[in-house]
Amino acid sequence: MSEPLPLPEGFAVGHWSDPEGRTGCTVVIPPPDTRGGVWIQGGGPGTRETETLGPFTRSEEASAVLLTGGSAFGLAAADGVARWLEQHGRGYPTPAGRVPLVPTAVIYDLAAGDAKARPGPEQGYAACEAAAPGVPERGAVGVGTGATVAKLAGRERARAGGLGYAAARTGAGEIVATIAAVNGVGDVIAEDGSILAGARGDDGERLRGAEVLAEMTEMPELKIPEGNTTLVCVCTDAYLDKRTCGMVARAATAGIARAIDPTFTPVDGDLVFCLASGSEAPRPFSGMQIGSLAATVAAAAIRDAVR
């Protein structure tokens, strides 16, 4: 398999991982003045500062994006990211200095390992220190360390999730890259519709989560586990304004639906960020093109996480 395209110029991704506690965090640090948008699709999100990316808020930029384990406890890791950014002169300009804006989203990995092992400020800072350009490390690293999928037949039958990456170019030469933290309740689906990562029954037969759900006569609390999420961050060197970043993030959720089934459930906190660093004037319909491509590479990054 050929190496994927690297991140767009100026972007860096860093991980902090705890293999024993089965948790971690991943930070995406874009170039200064990068615009950002977000689209929240799942029914159980855990977030911080996502409102700053809304189309009616004044700030344009996202100083960094943090994807973290630890459920709501892991939101504290954003404090360490903010401290690192402040030390490096990054953030939204105010009369008293720059204030870092760190939109953050979490996955629930508390049941995967040590429930008391959670990323905090020091771990968020460490992820920033480790951030590097190029092709990010993938698999059971960072926010993907304790990720699991295919939990509709119960957590005891779950499969490993992880962190994936994919990238492609538009016809105009812009890079559209995606990082995906894959911790969904559903199965990961291959390009041909077969199951890449799914549960198995007592006799070793492959179970299709959507069919298991459809055939249930009742849904006991322990049968449909709480706490799942697929998080995606789209990074592009195209010029997109803040509003269009939100539209691209919304379009990219189609990639989650292509690669995970079922998805966007009440027990998933599925969410997509979009970061755009380009400075040249936008091309007509560039948001439509980039949104379509973002869905394609989001699906590829999700599959990469379990391959």
**Residue-wise over 218-250: b if at least 16 C-beta within 10 A, else e?**
eeeeeebbebbbbbbbbbbbbbbebebbbbbbb
283 has a pLDDT exceeding 80: yes
Give a yes or no: residue 126 inside a domain.
Answer: yes
Phi, psi dihedrals of residue 13, rounded to the nearest 5°: -125, 135
1 has a pLDDT exceeding 60: no
> Could you tell me the pLDDT band of residue 223, with boundaries at 50, 70 and 90?
low
| Weakest mean pLDDT among 101-115, 193-207, 270-284 | 193-207
60 has a pLDDT exceeding 60: yes
* Long-range CB pairs of 220-227, under 8 A, 24+ apart, other chains included: 222/154, 223/154, 224/152, 224/185, 224/267, 225/111, 225/151, 225/154, 225/155, 225/185, 225/267, 226/44, 226/108, 226/267, 227/44, 227/71, 227/108, 227/110, 227/111, 227/267
In this prediction, residues 292-298 reach a mean pLDDT of: 98
Give a yes or no: residue 1 inside a domain.
Answer: no
Distance CA 242, CA 271 (A): 17
Query: Between 38 and 209, where is the model more confident?
Result: 38
Q: What is the mean pLDDT of the chain?
A: 94
What pLDDT is stored for residue 189 in this prediction?
97
The total number of structural domains in the chain stands at: 1
Distance CA 254, CA 12 (A): 25
> Could you tell me the pLDDT band of residue 3, with boundaries at 50, 70 and 90?
confident
What pLDDT is stored for residue 269 in this prediction?
94
Phi, psi dihedrals of residue 249, rounded to the nearest 5°: -60, -45
Give a yes or no: residue 235 inside a domain.
Answer: yes
What pLDDT is stored for residue 242 in this prediction?
95
In this prediction, residues 191-220 reach a mean pLDDT of: 86
220 has a pLDDT exceeding 70: no
What pLDDT is stored for residue 215 in this prediction?
87
> For position 36, which CATH number holds?
3.60.70.12
| Weakest mean pLDDT among 91-95, 142-146, 201-205 | 201-205
| Weakest mean pLDDT among 46-55, 60-69, 92-101, 218-227 | 218-227
Give a yes or no: residue 125 inside a domain.
Answer: yes
Q: Could you report the per-residue pLDDT of 108-148, keeping only the tens digit for each?
A: 999 999 999 999 999 999 999 999 999 999 999 999 999 99
**Chain position carrying tokens 């590097």:** 132
**Owning domain of residue 59:** 12-306
In this prediction, residues 79-88 reach a mean pLDDT of: 98
Report the predicted TM-score, pTM, of the whole model to 2 decimal places.
0.96
104 has a pLDDT exceeding 60: yes
Give Cβ neighbours of residue 196 (< 8 Å, ≥ 6 apart): 187, 188, 189, 190, 303, 306, 307
**Cis peptide bond prior to 266, omega within 30° of 0:** no
Give a yes or no: residue 6 inside a domain.
Answer: no
For the chain, the residue count is 307
Give a yes or no: residue 51 inside a domain.
Answer: yes
22 has a pLDDT exceeding 60: yes
Instruction: Give the count of beta carbons closer than 10 Å to the beta carbon of residue 45.
Output: 17
